[in-house]
Chain A
Amino acid sequence: MSEPLLGEPVECRARHEPILRPGNTNCGGCGMSIGLNMLSRAVGNTPIQIVIPACCGIVTPGHFPYSAYGAPVVASTFASAAAVATGLAHVARLNGAETRVICWAGDGGTYDIGMATLSAAAERNEDILYICYDNEIYGNTGGQRSSATPLGAVTTTTPRGKSLVKKDILSIMAAHRIPYAASISLAHPEDTLRKMRRGLETSGFSFLHILSPCPTGWKSEPADGIELVRMAVSAGLFPIYEINGGGEVTINVEPDFSQETLGAYFRLQGRFGKAPIDIDLVRDSIRESWDRLLRLTPQGRL
């Protein structure tokens, strides 16, 4: 599998304070922690305001009046992150402030309950960077299926494994023809930083999609998180690409579609161990999603 080209040295602009400070309540191995630390590096000292809907991310900072977030954060109701951010972003612009407004939401708040709000904010091309940390489960309520849960995964509400495929959120967002949309692999930090910076610098609506390991929900070892992301990317389960202006697709990491990697990905997670997985169905689903994706690239192939 090919790693992203490392042509440009990555410059780290130290933020005066990390976005995620010590004292936060995240589980060990939480992908959100890694994502927030990467965001911290990407943001540098650009003034930001973060909107977080009801999800693990708003439990992260601990209880009032303390805050483990090193940035101004406001909690929105579950479905409302992109709408609250809309108001904040307008007031920043009306007052000539350089504040970048960021939504940090899980898959439930993005794919499901927040979908209408998100779609409307994208259609209006609001000046917001929306980041979905997708752990493929309702983690905060103890692990129920969402429309981001992949085929075959056992959750508390799909005890025999999910029989439906994961919703293709990036295609949905790209269909809004927003200026920038990309998926992010935390196993590829340079690509992650580049995309986060691109999102921060883009005027109008940007959408970033992070596969976020959840040892609690995935029934996996906390130390395996990054390796699991690398496997998902390599096996073709989680395509890493970007879309500019809703049009041309650029694949950033080429998978090798290794069956061995796919098998290992399933074996390392308890959520896939409890019900037999129809591996042919998974393979078909990967092939189908890549066929569709490749048709949107200039070459039409990898």
Chain B
Amino acid sequence: MTIELLSANHAAAMAATLAGRANRTGRGFGGGVYPITPQTECIELLCRQEFEKGHIVRVESEHSAMAVCMGFSLAGARSFTASSSNGLAYMTENVFAAGFYRLPIVMMAVNRTLGPPWNIWVDHGDTLLLRDAGWMQFYCEDNQEVLDTVLLAYRLAEDHRILLPALVCQDAFVLSHTMMQTDVPALEEVERFLPTLDLPHRLTDQAVTLGGLDFPHETEVHRKQHAEAMAAVPAVYAECQAAFEEVFGRRPADPLVTYRMEDAEIALLSMGTTASTVRQAVDEARKRGLRVGASRLRMFRPFPERELRALLADCARIAVFDRDISLGHGGILWSESRGAAPPGSLVQGYMLGLGGGDIRPAHITSLLGDLCARSTAAEPEIVEVGQ
């Protein structure tokens, strides 16, 4: 392994390249790619790579990019693509199709605000739009995590107990265009970690029709099997963490990443790079004697409900920081986390940094003050952080 100075876009492309090359003993590697800011550098780097048994197809839209990935995957090859924002919205039909076909495709998404009006900065609304597509979803906090999660996602996705696609998300510009020292593993290591893909339902010469008609009962069975695969993810994830650590010498983070939660009465929940800022505010509040901790949901699908419930069991006050908004309801993380809060606790939703505004520790500190001053929770609140 070597340490390189990489943006998260390039970290994802390096991971995909290594995973692709590692499947040369299998049915190969490929995918369809299409540019969109701020993801473009990822697919540009991918298009510069040489593959002994692989091919990157430069298509005309995100919709076709995912369709080409489905073709590669249906034929038993490993597949990768990347997108962002409106590109993901345009791709959505085929994102669901790849999910329902149980294809172990890995996609890197750079979280960017949906438009119009056009805004290229971070917002998690684009990938949360896809939360019901039957994909696993991971939200990363630094470039190393992006690289590691792409590799981990392949192992998880291709496990026969799972067979689900995975979305690896990272924040626009905060990570996508920020260079960090990143440990890039050697191909031999990746080969040790990622077994050759063997897709049990791949299209062969056998006369079958994949994706024809389902009557209601067949759909019930298919959805149940899909849900069971999702339910199996946490246990298989733990196995993959151990296998990753054995090969690469570092342990990927848990689905729920916690910070100073041991004796916390107040919990602050967030996703992506917001969590780094929250940690600073936690340190500052701890100095003032507040028993506050933080938790980052690294895995959003399947939703780590049980782990979150156990984590929040002794918390009286919980703030949920969403960088997204489900208009007409509130933050999506808030809405999904509420059920895991203990009875009688106060759960307040804040939506901040919508459209990519710079969330600073002072914003979190101020909202922590607001949380502590409340006697009851109010409607989720949009907090303006400005530029």
Which residues of A line the B interface, CB within 8 A?
17, 47, 49, 51, 58-59, 61-65, 67, 69-77, 79-80, 83-92, 94-95, 99, 116-117, 119-120, 124
Contact = CB atoms under 8 A, between A and B. Distances in A.
8 contacts: A49-B203, A67-B207, A72-B203, A73-B209, A87-B69, A87-B73, A89-B71, A124-B57
Contact of B32 (A58, A74, A77, A87): A87
Given A59-B213, A67-B209, A90 B57 contact: yes
Given A77-B94, A87-B67, A90-B55, A120 B205 contact: no
Contacts of B61: 116-117, 120
A74 B69 contact: no
A84 B72 CA distance: 8
Contacts of A91: 27-28, 30, 71-72, 75-77
B208 A72 contact: yes
Given A77-B94, A95-B27, A120-B60, A84 B207 contact: no
Interface in B174-208: 203-208
A58 B210 CA distance: 10
B266 interface: no
The 10 tightest CB contacts between A and B, nearest first, are: A87-B71, A75-B211, A83-B67, A91-B75, A120-B60, A80-B67, A67-B209, A83-B64, A63-B213, A87-B72
Most B CB within 10 A of own CB, among A58, A59, A64, A116: A64
Contacts of A62: 212-213
A44 to B, nearest CB: 14
B54 interface: yes
A117 B213 CA distance: 24
Contacts of B32: 83, 86-87
B246 interface: no
Nearest to B202: A91
B206 A83 contact: no
A51 B211 CA distance: 10
* B interface, over-half SS: mixed
B379 interface: no
Contacts of A61: 209, 212-213
B101 to A, nearest CB: 8
Interface string B84-117: 0000000001100100000000000000000000
B118 interface: no
Interface residues of B, number: 44
A47 B212 contact: no
Given A72-B204, A91-B30, A77 B67 contact: yes
B66 to A, nearest CB: 8
Contacts of A63: 212-215, 218
Contact of B68 (A69, A75, A87): A87
A92 to B, nearest CB: 7
Nearest to B94: A77
B30 A83 contact: no
Given A87-B74, A91-B75, 13 more contacts: A63-B215, A63-B218, A64-B214, A67-B212, A70-B207, A83-B64, A84-B68, A86-B68, A87-B57, A90-B77, A94-B28, A94-B77, A120-B61
A73 B208 contact: yes
Interface string B13-50: 00000000000000110111000000000000000000
Given A119-B60, A120-B64, A58 B208 contact: no
Contacts of B27: 91, 94-95
A72 B205 contact: yes
A75 B210 contact: yes
Contact of B54 (A67, A71, A94): A94
Contacts of B214: 63-64
Most A CB within 10 A of own CB, among B27, B68, B69, B211: B68
Nearest to A119: B60
A90 B58 CA distance: 13
B63 interface: yes
A282 B254 CA distance: 69
A67 B211 CA distance: 11
A74 to B, nearest CB: 4
A217 to B, nearest CB: 20
Contact of B55 (A70, A94, A99): A94
Nearest to B93: A77
A117 B91 CA distance: 13
Given A77-B97, A79-B63, A90-B30, A67 B70 contact: no
A85 B203 CA distance: 12
Contacts of A87: 30-32, 57, 67-75, 77, 79
B338 interface: no
B207 A17 contact: yes
Contacts of A124: 57-58
Most A CB within 10 A of own CB, among B27, B71, B208: B71
B59 interface: yes
Contacts of B218: 63-65
A201 to B, nearest CB: 19
B213 A64 contact: yes
Contacts of A92: 75
